[in-house]
Amino acid sequence: MQHSIFVVLLSASLALFSFSCYRRLGLVAVGAGEQRLDRPLARCREMLVYAFGQRRVIKRPFGVNHSVIFWAFLVLALANGEFLLSGVFPGISFALLPAPLYGALLFAFDCCSLAALAAVAVAAVRRAFNPPFEGSRSFEAFFILFMIAALMLAYFGLRGAEIALGVAQPVAGAPVSNLTAALLLHSPLASRLQALPAVFWWLHAALLLAFMNFLPYSKHLHILTAIPNVFLRSLEKTNCQPREDFSEGNSFGAASVDRLSWKDLLDSLSCTECGRCQHACPAAFTGKELNPRLLVHAIKESLLENGASLRGASRGPERSDGAVSSLIGGAPGESSCSEAALWSCTSCGACMEACPVFIEHLPKIVKMRRHLVQMEAKFPEELLNLFENMEQRSNPWGMAPSERGKWSSQLQLRPFVAGETEYLLFVGCAGAFDARNKQVTVALTRVLDAAGVSYGVLGKDEKCCGESLRRLGNEYLFDVMAKQSVQQLREKGVTKVVTQCPHCYNTLKNDFRQYGLELEVVHHSELIKGLVDSGELALAPETGAAGSVVFHDSCYLGRHNGIYQAPRELLKEVTGKPVMEMERNREDSFCCGAGGGRMWLEEHEGTPINRSRVREAIAQKPDTICVSCPFCMTMFEDGLKDVEGNKAQVKDIAEIVAAGLKG
Amino acid sequence: MIVIACIKQVPDTTQVQIDPVTNTLIREGIPFIVNPYDSHALEESLRLKGSHGLKAVALSMGPPNAEAALRKALALGVDRSILLSDRVFGGADTLSTSNVLAAAIKKIGEQEEVGIVFCGKQTIDGDTAQVGPGIAVRLGFSQLTLVDRIQKIDLKGRTVTVRRKLEGRYEIVEARLPAMITVVRELNRPRYPTVPMRLASVRAEVECWSNEELRLDPNTVGLKGSPTWVSRIFSPQRSEGEIVGDGLQDPIAAARLLVDRLLTGDLLPI
């Protein structure tokens, strides 16, 4: 009788669970297509390392606690599988296995259950007294912890009762179960021992089936989505955005969930709400409206709100787009993101680096910016000048293009000629127009000349690479400018490029590849490092002019292109001692505030990002703050003006090297 | 009712240099832009289209390549773009330009009444500020120059109330329609074209009218109709500056000296 009831309950639960999963997970089908199944072997490797290996989870100390629950969960999946199976086919049990193996399994189940129980208790205490973020003490979070704990307790209860009754043999390696048996025998329940196994068995079954059906409707859905989400992650660094097809009749960017890709939507269903992204985000950290966690959550909410009707509509003959609610413009935290939040992003990529399940926030933000700029022409008013300047004069400041070569009027520079000059020195707008960064360009040419590097420049014919436009969502204008630049570089026969700006570096190297131009691009720090290593550049015995140096990682050099080592090693060669590190460095570095087109926007909300980063640098008491990006240079120069009694100076790495040249 | 924005395609003067030998503008490779003040005129006509349901028309006289400016106007949302281009219009000064523009506006008005004509207060290449008033006089329109705010438009009562931004003061003026209004930059913030509008504008028609359509006496247009001639172009040499007082040692005394000098020299626009 009980057996039949269980079979019916289990069948109903499985049916309901499957239906729920189909309904929830199937919603991602409303998203646009995206190729994510290439290179399956590499994907499996990523999944093993980052999902099963929990590599990113354990990067933060408390992540270890999660990993304990996760790994225990994997082992206990066996126990629970056996539990359900033997419920349907009573003869089937691990007890049929050879005794040593059975014993080992029981030992493993005991240990894992205990570990999970302990980890869940620690998690509950942490969430109660030191929550990961404001508002994380939700009923849902505690309920999930309670359910896991209850499952473990029911397991021990069942095993203990069976041992106490003598139904099961005590196993030497199952100490907790044995202890539970002893406790039961000495408890008031001892007189009702006969009924206990059934009670615990049904309790365990009820918890298991209830939890299973609660999953799809909770943030705990991530136990189903996180592993595939890691498998489906972008195998390349997310340092540029895909092109758009500017044919008439097309729509651009995304303002509703069906305009995002299916992977964007799966991301939203994979979020565990751990809050790591928001701690890493420079905008969230300094009190801006943007919170990457809530952004992803908003996409999930909007998907749940609109997904079903979109899905029904896309199957039916007609589709009414008017019924879809907008992703942009509402209050944050609900089913839409505010425009202010979208414009706060510095595209630094810290959120994506922090996310244990590889959610890609930046592409979603740029897609929504694209909608605002291209479909609605809505953007902060400072950007109108930027867009006009870029379109008319191919530089962000609106300087006359004929002025572009002026920085070098006192120098004898050669124009780039294929076959005669090896490298194109791509000066960049800041290096050509900005007073402070012009000094860096001059220093760089001194270094290149000292090493006898063969290079040339484009002079006044150089055009802005358009990086800020692309991150700001003005893809149309970027597309126009990129095509011109690509054609120019191709006609000139450029193959090797050195840049002093990580933004130019990234665009020439990665964005332009989408236009069929494969360039060998090096950042000046890499090139100079190579020149020192090969002996082509002779450095004076260290002069100590720079004093103690702290290094700031540019997001587009570091996180977006993985160049951390070259500038550090170069600085060590020049100064004779290892560089000092800020508290947040390398992958965890904190943006200067100028990326993602923020260079051209006022910072009205919260504390200025550059001030926050400058304070972090000053805390190391350096003589010199070394940057490797013209935008960082501007942000640090500005930020230092707010620090009273500051004696530190900001130098580009090329300037530090130039000061240490022999002779 | 129709609202017309007169726009001119001008060389980007920030990029123009003067050939020191011939004293003429070096036009080679200099990009053309819509005269900045005219973008505000265009924007205001689009706003009236939105708020009062007027039909917006962009109008320009110039060489065939001025079509680019009119195409941009289409991308921004005007209903019609008309280019007045003919060899006989070439070499025009402000007098013959206003003759041609006025004739075109009259012709546009044959189909539907023209209520307001917007012009930029002046162009950045000629800087004369004469064409707008020239149009108003020739058409008998109310003439409202240097407007930085449209306060009220009463289509039924056929009046418009504007604020004129003058040196050191404002002037509120009510005038009868039809009116010609020249605008300053403070009037509005020009919009940015959406991409679908830009893409559509590529195929949209820019109407081109020659003198066949306008039938003006060839002696009143172009070079022949222009009494102005350019005798010489040169960059004015700035006279040598002067350092007033010693701001480093005694900034207060230096400031006092400066203010005295400004007042006695009548250099302040009060």
> What pLDDT, in 10s, does the model give residues B115-154?
999 999 999 888 899 999 999 999 999 999 999 999 999 9
Question: Tokens in use for A288?
Answer: 């801006």
Q: What is the mean pLDDT of residues B56-80?
A: 96
The amino acid occupying position A339 is E
Q: What is the mean pLDDT of residues A532-556?
A: 89
Tell me the pLDDT tens digit for each residue of B97-116. Answer: 999 999 999 999 999 999 99
Least confident piece of the model among A41-45, A335-339, A469-473, A498-502: A335-339
Looking up tokens 């080992």, which residue turns up? A104
Q: What is the mean pLDDT of residues B169-196?
A: 97
Check if the beta carbon of residue A268 is closer than 8 Å to that of residue A346: no
Tell me the pLDDT tens digit for each residue of A150-173. Answer: 999 999 999 999 999 887 777 777
Instruction: Determine how many CB atoms are found less than 10 A away from the CB of residue B260.
Output: 11
Check if the beta carbon of residue A591 is closer than 8 Å to that of residue A613: yes
Instruction: For A376, name the nearest residue in chain B, comparing CA atoms only.
Output: B194
Give yes or no for residue B19 having a pLDDT over 80. no
Check if the beta carbon of residue A375 is closer than 8 Å to that of residue A255: yes
The shortest CB-CB distance from A400 to any of B14, B33, B196 is to B14
Per-residue DSSP letter, A50: I
With CB atoms and an 8 Å threshold, state whether A476 touches B195: yes
Tell me the pLDDT tens digit for each residue of A194-239. Answer: 899 999 999 999 999 999 999 999 989 999 999 999 999 999 999 9
With CB atoms and an 8 Å threshold, state whether B31 touches A251: no
CA–CA dist A416, A489 (Å, integer): 10
Interface test with B, best of A374, A403, A479, A481 (most B CBs within 10 A): A374
- Give the SS3 label for residue A550: strand
Q: Could you tell me if A480 lies within 8 Å of chain B, comparing CB atoms?
A: no
Q: A616 φ, ψ to 5°? A: -65, -40
CA–CA dist A525, B81 (Å, integer): 53
Q: Could you tell me if A101 lies within 8 Å of chain B, comparing CB atoms?
A: no
Tell me the pLDDT tens digit for each residue of A596-625. Answer: 999 999 999 999 999 999 999 999 999 999
- B2-220: what fold? Rossmann fold (3.40.50)
Q: What is the mean pLDDT of residues A248-258?
A: 95
Instruction: For B202, name the nearest residue in chain A, comparing CA atoms only.
Output: A248
Spatial CA neighbour of B157 closest among B115, B193, B103: B115
Instruction: For A387, name the nearest residue in chain B, comparing CA atoms only.
Output: B192
The shortest CB-CB distance from A392 to any of B17, B33, B194 is to B33
Residues counted in chain A:
663
Determine the distance in angstroms separating the CA of B33 from the nearest CA of chain A, rounded to an integer: 8
What would the CATH number be for the domain defined by A257-315+322-375? 1.10.1060
Interface test with B, best of A245, A402, A406 (most B CBs within 10 A): A402
Kindly tell me the sign of the dihedral angle through the C-alpha atoms of A543, A545, A547, A550. negative
Check if the beta carbon of residue A437 is closer than 8 Å to that of residue A503: no
Q: Could you tell me if B198 lies within 8 Å of chain A, comparing CB atoms?
A: yes
User: What confidence score (pLDDT) does residue A86 get?
Assistant: 92
Cis peptide before B178 (omega within 30 of 0): yes
CA B110, distance to chain mean position in Å, is: 24
Q: Could you tell me if A375 lies within 8 Å of chain B, comparing CB atoms?
A: yes
Give yes or no for residue B250 having a pLDDT over 70. yes
Determine the distance in angstroms separating the CA of A244 from the nearest CA of chain B, rounded to an integer: 11
Determine the distance in angstroms separating the CA of B192 from the nearest CA of chain A, rounded to an integer: 6
With CB atoms and an 8 Å threshold, state whether B191 touches A400: no
By percentage, how much of chain A surpasses pLDDT 70?
97
Looking up tokens 């068995």, which residue turns up? A201
Give yes or no for residue A415 having a pLDDT over 50. yes
Q: Could you tell me if A384 lies within 8 Å of chain B, comparing CB atoms?
A: yes
Q: Could you tell me if A246 lies within 8 Å of chain B, comparing CB atoms?
A: yes
Per-residue DSSP letter, A16: H
Touching B: A residues 389-408, CB under 8 Å = 392-393, 398, 400-402
Q: Could you tell me if B18 lies within 8 Å of chain A, comparing CB atoms?
A: no
Q: What is the mean pLDDT of residues A175-195?
A: 90
> A429 to each of A201, A421, A600, how far by Cα in Å?
71, 22, 13
CA–CA dist A156, A153 (Å, integer): 5
Residues of B in contact with A377 (CB under 8 A): 191-194
Residues of A in contact with B190 (CB under 8 A): 384
Looking up tokens 């910072």, which residue turns up? A603
Instruction: Determine how many CB atoms are found less than 10 A away from the CB of residue A313.
Output: 18
Say what the alpha-carbon torsion angle A264, A268, A274, A275 is, to the nearest 10 degrees. Answer: 70
Per-residue DSSP letter, A138: -
Strand A423-426 with A496-499, pairing: parallel
- Give the SS3 label for residue A244: coil
Least confident piece of the model among A132-136, A394-398, A505-509, A553-557: A132-136
Collect all residues with Cβ–Cβ distance below 8 Å to A409 and sequence separation of at least 6: none
Strand A520-523 with A496-499, pairing: parallel
Integer Rg of chain A from CA: 30
Give the pTM.
0.92
Check if the beta carbon of residue B234 is closer than 8 Å to that of residue B18: yes
Instruction: For B189, name the nearest residue in chain A, comparing CA atoms only.
Output: A381
B27 vs A649, higher pLDDT: A649
Question: Tokens in use for A266?
Answer: 């799966």
User: What confidence score (pLDDT) does residue A323 get?
Assistant: 65
Tell me the pLDDT tens digit for each residue of A390-409. Answer: 999 999 999 988 889 989 98
By percentage, how much of chain B surpasses pLDDT 70?
97
Q: Could you tell me if A382 lies within 8 Å of chain B, comparing CB atoms?
A: no
Check if the beta carbon of residue A455 is closer than 8 Å to that of residue A441: no
Tell me the pLDDT tens digit for each residue of A63-90. Answer: 999 999 999 999 999 999 999 999 999 8
Q: What is the mean pLDDT of residues A313-326?
A: 60
Collect all residues with Cβ–Cβ distance below 8 Å to A356 and sequence separation of at least 6: A50, A54, A56, A57, A59, A63, A226, A272, A274, A276
User: What confidence score (pLDDT) does residue A332 get?
Assistant: 57
Predicted confidence band of residue A550 (pLDDT cuts 50, 70, 90):
very high
Tell me the pLDDT tens digit for each residue of A520-531. Answer: 999 999 999 999
CA A34, distance to chain mean position in Å, is: 19
CA–CA dist A75, A108 (Å, integer): 8
Contacts across the A-B interface (CB distance below 8 Å): 44
Strand order in the sheet with B207-209: B169-176, B159-166, B142-154, B179-183, B114-120, B2-6, B55-61, B80-84, B207-209
Instruction: Determine how many CB atoms are found less than 10 A away from the CB of residue B51.
Output: 10
User: What confidence score (pLDDT) does residue B267 get?
Assistant: 76
Least confident piece of the model among A54-58, A454-458, A529-533, A641-645: A641-645
With CB atoms and an 8 Å threshold, state whether A375 touches B194: yes
With CB atoms and an 8 Å threshold, state whether B192 touches A247: no
- Give the SS3 label for residue A290: coil
Q: Residues spanned by CATH 3.40.50.620 within chain B? A: 2-220
Check if the beta carbon of residue A500 is closer than 8 Å to that of residue A654: yes
The region, left, alpha or beta by phi > 0 then psi within -120 to 50, assigned to residue A220 is alpha
With CB atoms and an 8 Å threshold, state whether B191 touches A377: yes
With CB atoms and an 8 Å threshold, state whether B194 touches A374: yes
Q: Could you give the count of Cα atoms lying within 13 Å of B220 in the half-sphere of its Cβ?
A: 12
Q: Could you tell me if B196 lies within 8 Å of chain A, comparing CB atoms?
A: yes
CA–CA dist A156, A427 (Å, integer): 69
With CB atoms and an 8 Å threshold, state whether A381 touches B198: no
User: What confidence score (pLDDT) does residue A319 get?
Assistant: 44
Q: Could you tell me if B61 lies within 8 Å of chain A, comparing CB atoms?
A: no
User: What confidence score (pLDDT) does residue A318 get?
Assistant: 46
User: What confidence score (pLDDT) does residue A410 get?
Assistant: 85
**Runs of H (alpha helix) within A460-601:** 467-472, 475-491, 502-506, 524-533, 565-575
- Give the SS3 label for residue A499: strand
With CB atoms and an 8 Å threshold, state whether A392 touches B31: yes
CA B26, distance to chain mean position in Å, is: 23
> A520 to each of A242, A422, A423, A424, A495, how far by Cα in Å?
21, 11, 9, 10, 6
What would the CATH number be for the domain defined by A35-231? 1.20.950
Give yes or no for residue A655 having a pLDDT over 90. yes
The amino acid occupying position A237 is K
Interface test with B, best of A248, A369, A381 (most B CBs within 10 A): A248
Instruction: Determine how many CB atoms are found less than 10 A away from the CB of residue A367.
Output: 25
User: What confidence score (pLDDT) does residue A3 get?
Assistant: 87
CA–CA dist B92, A611 (Å, integer): 56
ipTM: 0.90
Give yes or no for residue A552 having a pLDDT over 60. yes
With CB atoms and an 8 Å threshold, state whether A248 touches B203: yes
Spatial CA neighbour of A554 closest among A470, A623, A432, A652: A652
Three-state SS string over chain B comes to CEEEEECCEEECHHHCEECCCCCCEECCCCCEEECHHHHHHHHHHHHHHHHHCCEEEEEEECCHHHHHHHHHHHHHCCCEEEEECCHHHCCCCHHHHHHHHHHHHHHHHCCCCEEEEEEECCCCCCCCCCHHHHHHHHHCCEEEEEEEEEEEEECCCCEEEEEEEECCEEEEEEEECCEEEEECHHHCCCCCCCHHHHHHHHHCCCEEECHHHHCCCHHHCCCCCCCCCCCCCCCCCCCCCCCCCCCCCCHHHHHHHHHHHHHHCCCCCC
| Domain range annotation of chain A | 35-231, 257-315+322-375, 383-659
Touching A: B residues 23-52, CB under 8 Å = 31, 33
